[in-house]
Amino acid sequence: MKKLLRKPKHEAIKDGVTLVHEIHKANSPLTYVAFRMIDLAEGAVYQESLDGEEVCIVALTGKITVQEGETTFEKIGTRDSVFEKIPTDSVYIGNSRSFTIQGESEIARVALCYSPTRKKLPTKLIKASDNSIEDRGKYQNQRHVHNILPDSSEIADSVLVVEVYTEGGNFSSYPPHKHDQDNLPEESFLEESYYHEMNPRQGFVFQRVYTDDRSIDETMTVENGDMVLVPAGYHPVGVPDGYTSYYLNVMAGPTRVWKFHNDPAHEWILDRE
């Protein structure tokens, strides 16, 4: 399995709308997760109609207005940089709906996180204050998490969305864990994508994606703005000293439950005194 690392495109698709990333089943190994990242200039409008998918629109940076039918959420978004480390606003839109996103700041970066669904669930604003916040791990395995659409949320049918911050010298998604078996209650099958940013921007992280049989085994140097795709396998991230890592995770699969399995070779680190 190759090409799990994706570089940003920065392709103008209409006036004031720049396509940064586009991941879907025709150009990736992912079936349940699709992803689009766009930059909007002030006043620029992006339009889309959903067909067999739901989407979570994340106002990553800058401000946007989202309209779906008679519903409008004006000037949402809370930060100029993800490294302000505060939650942001998002909007969930269900299958068979059409929507527009308008830029309301000099530049707004917007993540569109998709997964298949047959349901037509109601449109919902997920305010920054609705995000649950938690710290995970200890020792050199610590990270800070904003849960936008966790599996406990009943807003969505399939898609899960989370933001994670990891300080330099720490590992994240660690000990290595996977969720590639539809074997509940022990493990769920969820594909995953990672959109990465670094602070300072010239930084990099290392991410390995590997399966038990090593049919997938890639170790990647990931730079600011890159994406990593996880169709299956363990997927730890290592952050060098002096830099802070941010990533936006999108997960989806046949069942909307996040139940992971640690790599037995490394699970021992959880039992240290």
Domains of the chain: 5-271 (2.60.120.10)
State pTM to two decimals: 0.96
Q: Which residues contact 161 (CB under 8 A, 6 or more apart)?
A: 56, 58, 90, 113, 148, 149, 248, 249, 250, 251
Helix (H) or strand (E) holding 130: none
**Number of residues that make up the chain:** 273
Reading the chain (273 residues) residue by residue, the pLDDT tens digits are 458 999 999 999 999 999 999 999 999 999 999 999 999 999 999 999 999 999 999 999 999 999 999 999 999 999 999 999 999 999 999 999 999 999 999 999 999 999 999 999 999 999 999 999 999 998 999 999 999 999 999 999 999 999 999 999 999 999 999 999 999 999 999 999 999 999 999 999 999 999 999 999 999 999 999 999 999 999 999 999 999 999 999 999 999 999 999 999 999 998 876
Phi, psi of 11, deg, nearest 5: -110, 120
- How many angstroms separate the CA atoms of 223 and 260, rounded? 26
Classify 159 as helix, strand or coil. Answer: coil
SS (H, E, C) 226-259: CEEEECCCECCEECCCCCEEEEEEEEECCCCCCC
Query: Which DSSP letter does residue 105 get?
Result: S
In single-letter form, the type of residue at position 67 comes to Q
- How many angstroms separate the CA atoms of 166 and 172, rounded? 7
